[in-house]
Amino acid sequence: MELRPPSVVALVEELQQLPGVGPRTAVRLVQHLLRAPAGASRLAAAVGRAAEQVRHCSTCYLITEDDPCPVCRDTTREGVICVVEDPLNAWAVEATSEFHGRYHVLGGTLDPLHGVGPDELTVAALVRRVQEGGVNEVILATNPTVEGEATAHYLARALHAVGANVSRIAFGLPAGGEISYADQVTLSRALAGRRGMD
User: Does some domain include residue 149?
Assistant: yes
Residue 180's contacts (CB-CB under 8 Å, 6 or more residues apart) are none
Q: Which pLDDT belongs to residue 197?
A: 62
Cβ neighbour number for residue 191 with a 10 Å cutoff: 10
At residue 140, the pLDDT reads 95
Residue 198 is predicted with a pLDDT of 65
Q: Which helix (H) or strand (E) holds 57?
A: none
157 in any annotated domain: yes
Range of the domain at 158: 79-168
Between CA 134 and CA 95 the distance in angstroms is 24
Domain count for the chain, please give it.
Answer: 1
> Does any domain span residue 102?
yes
- pLDDT value for 106: 98
What does each C-alpha distance from 149 to 1, 143, 146, 158 come to in angstroms?
50, 7, 5, 14
CA dihedral 176, 179, 182, 188 (to 10 degrees): 120
Per-residue pLDDT of the chain (198 residues; tens, 9 = 90+): 888 899 999 999 999 999 999 999 999 999 999 999 999 999 999 999 999 999 999 999 999 999 999 999 999 999 999 999 999 999 999 998 999 999 999 999 999 899 999 999 999 999 999 999 999 999 999 998 889 999 999 999 999 999 999 999 888 777 787 878 877 877 887 777 777 766
Q: Classify residue 69: in a domain, yes or no.
A: no
Euclidean distance between CA atoms 187 and 179, whole angstroms: 7
Question: Do 184 and 172 form a contact (C-beta atoms < 8 A)?
Answer: no
Residue 138 maps to a domain: yes
Q: Would residue 88 count as lying in a domain?
A: yes
Residue 145: inside a domain? yes
Does residue 56 lie within any of the structural domains?
Answer: no
Q: What is the CATH number of the domain that holds 108?
A: 3.40.1360.10
Provide CB contacts within 8 A for 43, sequence distance 6+: 33
